[in-house]
Amino acid sequence: MKKIALLALQFAIAFTAWGITPQEAVNRFALDNTMRHASLGVMIMGIDSGNVIASYNPDLSVITASTMKTVTSTTALELLGGDYRFETVVHTIGEIDGNKLKGNLIITGYGDPTLGSQYFPKNNIIGEIIDSLRNAGITEIQGRIIVDASFYNYPAYSSWWDIGDIAEDYGAGVHGLNYRDNLVTVKFNVDPQGNINNLTLSPQVPGVEITNMMHSGSRNNWSASLDYGHSAVVLYGETNPGNHSYTIANPRPDLMLKAEVEAALMQAGIKVENRELTFESGEGDHAVLLSHYSPVITDIITSLLDRSDNMFTHALLRAVGSRQGSYKRGEMGIDYAGADAVKQMLRDRGIDDSALFMLDGSGLARANKNSVRTFCEMLRYMAERKYGTDSLRLCDLMPSAGRRIGSVLGNNVLCDSIKLKSGSMSDVQCFVGYYPADKPQVVWAILANNYSCERSTLKDNMSRMLIDALPASKQN
């Protein structure tokens, strides 16, 4: 009680000295002309008391964008645990005779988003495969390298994602077997005569076709598209002379991994004959060559919250969903099972989930909605909960504000004292977080849709509101 009273006194002294209360700061922001047509929710809540310090439309459900990643991350920490690791199993089928595997090498994925990721360079499954084969004395594989991505028997992309997003680098889907962040680069050049030449994928992905529907012109205004369940990349639009490259979502990361494993084995002196060897049920010896494990999810969450990685986050939702009885019994799709697990987790912890409409884990779907009250209640619940061997809190996994809410806050002492997750898409700008960063006393959420100003102006207005509503900044 003393701590709560001290916090209240600090707030009162600060606001009296400066002549503005937190609610007045919120009202000034919410009633600005730039928010006249907006769907807006704002809340600041004390962690110890649960008291609402200031609010505006606290129960309005609005589009969340990537702030939804905190909901998925919370659920993964609660249901999977901070030390959870994704597993990828490599096994052999057939007979090992001396240095020969008279059979196939099979790589089975279980949804690990970090295999070959540029953000986890030490997560080198190919190196582990080579070392394991050498330790087993195998220098020749008479059969094939088989990749098994069937763990998720659903499209890699959420059915709620816009079809225009699924080819973009931020729209990479989640497969049973993921590799290199599920991205690939399209490269080509256009000569002065307007001919489009050397159209390739880098790295090459066997089985992925490129259909060129571009035309040459004076502008560079082209893009790529994919279709649900297909492996063709379609390029369309106008392109101008010169060299071009564009990173897109890879529809077959399993085939990329297969090709790179084959190339690495050859370089390591391990021969793959690629014979068509088949084994009926019960035939051939099955032996686990290795079990590869991802980094712990506290590390994965730290990375995805900082970079706002949609694929990593949706992989967590699918990991949660895959454990649900409704999914295992075939009663519910993987993404719906994950979202159902999220809502049940919130209810079990006394958090009202009625304002939460969740269709994917990352917030990429515009149908995702939530209220600032639900965000704040969840963040408050998570404030002192610790996970994993390192006893990390959710706020420890979130990035500092820095200049993420524009230059006004970026030049204020608060920039290092606030932990937050941002979310943005067209006509949507949202933030949720903790303050102060080291020993949080309040949680806060701002969800703004359909504002009538430039995004930079909105961020500056949000910054001023936070500076006025959080008293420590007034000392600067």
Cβ-based burial of 468 (10 A; exposed 0-12, middle 13-18, buried ≥19)? buried
Rounded to the nearest 10 degrees, the angle between the axes of helix 310-321 and helix 297-307 is: 140
Parent domain of 335: 2-82+297-475
Instruction: Let me know whether 247 and 302 are in one domain.
Output: no
Instruction: Give the 3-state secondary structure percentages of the chain, helix then strand then coil, rounded to 5.
Output: 35, 25, 40
Instruction: Let me know whether 407 and 315 are in one domain.
Output: yes
Residue showing tokens 């080819």:
167
Q: Which domain-ending residue is among 239, 271, 295? A: 295
In the chain, the N- to C-terminal Cα span, in Å, equals: 29
How far CA 165 is from CA of 83, 333, 365, in Å, comes to: 32, 21, 10
Distance between CA atoms of residues 400 and 419, nearest Å: 4
Instruction: Let me know whether 316 and 417 are in one domain.
Output: yes
The closest alpha carbon to 97, from 157, 134, 142, belongs to 142
Domain count, the chain: 2
Q: pLDDT value at position 408?
A: 92
370 close to 447: Cβ distance less than 8 angstroms: yes
Q: Which domain-ending residue is among 295, 311, 344? A: 295
> Looking at the DSSP assignment, which residues form a beta bridge with residue 212?
235
- Regions of the chain short of the pLDDT cut 50: 1-6, 8-9, 11-17, 473-476
CATH number of the domain within which 8 lies: 3.40.710.10
Give pLDDT tens digits for 327-372. Answer: 998 889 999 999 999 999 999 999 999 999 999 999 999 999 999 9
Instruction: Let me know whether 390 and 455 are in one domain.
Output: yes
Q: pLDDT value at position 281?
A: 67
Instruction: Let me know whether 140 and 260 are in one domain.
Output: yes
Instruction: Let me know whether 248 and 362 are in one domain.
Output: no
Instruction: Let me know whether 119 and 6 are in one domain.
Output: no
pTM: 0.92
Distance between CA atoms of residues 409 and 398, nearest Å: 17
Q: pLDDT value at position 283?
A: 65
Q: pLDDT value at position 14?
A: 46
Per DSSP, helices labelled H in 19-59 are 22-30
Instruction: Let me know whether 43 and 187 are in one domain.
Output: no
Q: pLDDT value at position 2?
A: 46
The amino acid sitting at 13 is I
300 close to 143: Cβ distance less than 8 angstroms: no
Q: pLDDT value at position 82?
A: 98
Q: pLDDT value at position 415?
A: 87
Instruction: Let me know whether 171 and 211 are in one domain.
Output: yes
Q: Which domain-ending residue is among 231, 262, 295? A: 295
Instruction: Let me know whether 194 and 282 are in one domain.
Output: yes
Instruction: Let me know whether 327 and 409 are in one domain.
Output: yes
Q: pLDDT value at position 471?
A: 60
Instruction: Let me know whether 369 and 380 are in one domain.
Output: yes
Q: pLDDT value at position 279?
A: 80
Distance of CA 440 to the CA centre of its chain: 25
Total number of residues shown for the chain: 476
